[in-house]
Amino acid sequence: MNVPYAIKYNYGNGFSPIKTTTGTLSTYTDPEGEIFLTVGQGGRSHYQWTGLQPSWVAFRDNTTNGFLQVTVSPDGGTLSGNYLKSSDGTTIDSFSISKSLSGLKYDYAPYRTFNGVSDYFDPPVTADMSMPSSFTASAWFKTTKNNPTGVEEMIVNKGGIGLDRLGENMNYGLSITDSEKVKGGFEDSGTSNNDHFVSSSASYNDGNWHMAALTYDSTTGVITLYVDGSSAGINTSLLPPETNSKPLRIGANSRANNSYFAGQIDEVQIVSRALSASEIADIYNHVMPFSEPFG
């Protein structure tokens, strides 16, 4: 089986699926543009879903040959089909279809623009936003700035960057480094205020919206940085973050008026637990609505 394009169920004739190819079946029109696959037409019925299968997986099994496992990637951009032998699960044939999702994910306007020289925003929260153990910090951002060596742009932070100083160290922070990587982490509550940061391998000053998220699970000590819904690196800390009274600040250093962000930031979220990888992917894919600090 080698299917370069999707197949659509033909409601007019269920025995002749419509192929979205440029071949002879040219009647296909689909203004939605989604990726799809219809499993089975004619012959046997679909097996009922038991509710035990993972999301986005459909099965059909005729026991003598095998079954077709269909998956859609968490970002909705790739559909994969694997025809698996029933007896031992080996792959008999497979295909995948992908579409470009560049620039399509952000859908949360309005946003806030930061001029990179003086703008920042301290959300008027009344709760103590210190994170003494597990947490998640996330935000969407967009920038084209090429930072000079030694200059870091803060997306969101509480406690900030600078020399180790009790009461001012990083409780949690997301930033763009001088090589335009996404960076996240904190300084721990030990006497040395050791740093626990992780940076992405890719740069993100491409002028497109991206989503950065940082999670810390105090039970495992794992710090995970996510960019655009997928893990971009991990670090660990057995000691929890330092907490302090510095402001929750968006767009500049929490402990000094510097490290200004140039570009757009939106949908900043601070959660007092480590969201799972699938929850981070859900946020990136618009599954879970959250409140908007500034619209």
What residues line the site for Ca ion (CB under 5 A)? 108, 146-147, 164, 178, 187, 193, 195, 266, 292
Nearer of residues 20 and 235 to Ca ion, judged by Cβ: 235
Nearer of residues 1 and 117 to Ca ion, judged by Cβ: 117
Nearer of residues 9 and 108 to Ca ion, judged by Cβ: 108
Looking at the DSSP bridge assignments, the partners of residue 230 are: 227
Nearer of residues 119 and 178 to Ca ion, judged by Cβ: 178
CA–CA distance, 147 with 205 (Å, rounded to integer): 9
Q: 290 with 269: CB under 8 angstroms?
A: yes
Q: Give me the least distance between CB of 278 and Ca ion, in Å please.
A: 23
CA–CA distance, 80 with 267 (Å, rounded to integer): 31
Nearer of residues 47 and 290 to Ca ion, judged by Cβ: 290
Q: Give me the least distance between CB of 257 and Ca ion, in Å please.
A: 21
DSSP 155-179: EEEES-SSS--TTTS-SEEEEE-TT
Q: 171 with 158: CB under 8 angstroms?
A: yes
State in Å, rounded, how far the first CA of the chain is from the last one.
48
Q: Give me the least distance between CB of 195 and Ca ion, in Å please.
A: 4
Q: Give me the least distance between CB of 181 and Ca ion, in Å please.
A: 9
Give the torsion sign (CA, 39, 42, 43, 46). positive
117 to 144, 175, 180, 208, 262: CA distances (angstroms): 15, 16, 17, 21, 8
Nearer of residues 70 and 270 to Ca ion, judged by Cβ: 270
Q: Give me the least distance between CB of 161 and Ca ion, in Å please.
A: 9
Residue of minimal CB distance from Ca ion?
A: 108
Q: Give me the least distance between CB of 110 and Ca ion, in Å please.
A: 5
DSSP code, position 37 = B
